[in-house]
Every structure is written in C-alpha cells, then in structure tokens.
C-alpha cells in the first residue's frame, strides 16, 4: 500500500486518525506502521487510529487501535467521532446509527454538526474503585489534579499485579457534589496521559453516583477544558441507559505515504 487518505478528528480534546476501510485493504497486522503513523514527531500523531469497516449485523464496524499498534475493545470519544465520520463518508445516511465494536454494538445519534451522543456498555465487574465500561478503568479520587503526577502514578497502577495480565486505564478524579467531575486519565496503550477519555468519563461518573453521592446527569470536565456529559439511571443496585454526550470536530484531511513511515523510530 502506498498512499493512505485519512481524516484527523478530536472528541473533547481526544484526537484520532479516521480511515475509511470499507474495502478491507488497511493492513491491520502491520502494527509497527500503525504505531509510526500515530507517533507525534515522525507520523501524523494521535491517541488512536479508527477504521470504518463493513459489518454483517450493523450499519458499520468500528476498529480501534492504540498508538502502540495494539487493538482495544472500545473508545468512548472515538466512538463519538466515528459516528460523525461514518455519516460524512456515506457509511450511514441517518443521524441515528448502530455500529459494531469489539465491546458489542453501540448506538449513536448526531445531535448537531458538533455534538454526538452514544449509548455506552453497561458498567460491570465493580471492585472497589475499579469498573469495566467496555474497557477496564481504575478510579483514583484526588484532592488536586494539578499536583497529581498522572504519568508516574498512572503507570504504576496500570502495571500493578492486581490488574495483570491486561492492565487497566487509570483515572484521577475530583468529585464535586451534586453532579460534577474533573478528570485526568492515564490510558493503557497510549502509555501516557491523554487529552480526554470517554470511557474514563463514564467510569468516573458511575463510580461517583455509586459511591460518592453524585446524581445523573454528571458533567465531566477534561484536562483540555471540554465538557462531557454522562447520563443514565441507577436504582441503588443496577445501572441502565448509560449515555455519553460531547463535542466532536474534524481538524483536517490528509494523504500519507504508508510505505515511507519510519518504523525504525518506534
């Protein structure tokens, strides 16, 4: 493969390379070049590479790859971006859609040109401040986000034997009653702090409602200053109808020489 066209988007500061792979030609097994494309200084730079592929059971399939080239089950902000991207390339012709992910089918709605809401997988596997919302998250309540060493402490928890062998994402959270959260996230696969994390926003919100006295809808402020809204219901035992709403934006389109990517730098 020589030339690869792509679109750069971000969702609440979480940035992605979006690729139309409905013809199935993207070399998904070439993880070193995926990682090189995602690298900030020698590639395009992003916190995730997202493919739109054909699906036998939904409007389309979303495939998500971390910046290290590994594949992840779901990305909340990426799912919001892929809904807008799929509509723009004609993979779906309605503002409402359902698409396939490795974490199950996701329903999405384009509320306007810049705002997308998705239905999230129901939280499960609660263990103290740990929860799975499509992907695993460990929640760490803190008093001051600006003084938190997200990379060092996040890496320590992500690699803890408690979460072996797959590790976990780590969210550092300030809870403010009745319905506000501020968050910084160390993301597995990125292996650093990210600009935002949609699944982390959902994880922090549901833990906040379950254990810290918050009420839905929960407003989640990201490190870049954007706001995500997590809504749903909780009857004291079971969560249902969890949604994530927030902004998306197309930044630019580009064409990349795939074969020229500097894989030796990764």
- Point out the residues that are catalytic: 75, 197
The dihedral built from the CA positions of residue 191, 193, 195 and 198, taken in this order, carries a sign that is positive
Residue 178 preceded by cis peptide, ω within 30: yes
Neighbours of 215 (CB within 10 A): 11
Beta-strand ranges (E) seen in the chain are 3-11, 14-20, 49-53, 60-65, 71-72, 96-100, 106-110, 115-119, 124-127, 130-132, 136-141, 169-176, 180-187, 192-194, 218-221, 227-234, 239-247, 249-257
Give the integer Cα–Cα distance in Å for 170 and 175.
15
Residue whose pair of structure tokens reads 């596997």 in the numeric block: 125
Query: Which class for 40: exposed (0-12), middle (13-18), buried (19 or more C-beta within 10 A)?
Result: exposed
3-class secondary-structure state, position 160: coil
Tell me the CB-side half-sphere exposure of residue 149, using CA atoms within 13 A. Answer: 5
Residue whose pair of structure tokens reads 């698409």 in the numeric block: 99
* Among the listed residues 82, 113, 124, the one whose alpha carbon sits nearest the alpha carbon of residue 99: 82
Residues 180, 219: contact at Cβ < 8 Å? yes
């Amino acid at each position: 493969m020589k030339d690869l066209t792509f679109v750069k988007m971000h969702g609440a500061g979480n940035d992605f390379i979006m690729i139309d792979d409905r013809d199935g030609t993207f070399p998904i097994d070439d993880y070193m070049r995926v990682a090189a494309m995602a690298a900030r200084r020698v590639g395009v730079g992003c916190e995730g590479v997202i493919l739109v592929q054909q699906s036998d059971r939904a409007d389309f399939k979303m495939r998500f790859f971390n910046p290290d080239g590994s594949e992840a089950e779901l990305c909340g902000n990426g799912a919001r971006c892929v809904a807008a991207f799929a509509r723009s390339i004609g993979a779906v012709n309605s503002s409402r859609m359902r698409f396939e992910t490795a974490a199950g089918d996701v329903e999405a709605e384009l509320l306007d040109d810049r705002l997308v809401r998705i239905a999230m997988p129901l939280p499960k596997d609660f263990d103290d401040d740990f929860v799975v919302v499509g992907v695993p998250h460990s929640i760490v309540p803190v008093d001051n986000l600006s003084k938190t060493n997200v990379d060092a402490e996040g890496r320590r928890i992500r690699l803890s034997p408690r979460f072996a062998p797959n590790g976990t994402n780590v969210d550092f959270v300030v809870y403010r009653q009745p319905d506000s959260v501020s968050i910084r996230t160390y993301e597995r696969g990125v292996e650093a702090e990210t600009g935002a994390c949609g699944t982390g926003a959902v994880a922090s919100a549901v833990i906040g409602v379950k254990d810290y006295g918050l009420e839905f809808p929960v407003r989640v402020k990201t490190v870049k200053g954007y706001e995500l809204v997590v809504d749903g219901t909780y009857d004291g035992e079971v969560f249902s109808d969890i949604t994530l709403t927030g902004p998306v934006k197309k930044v630019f389109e580009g064409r990349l020489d795939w074969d020229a990517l500097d894989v030796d730098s990764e």
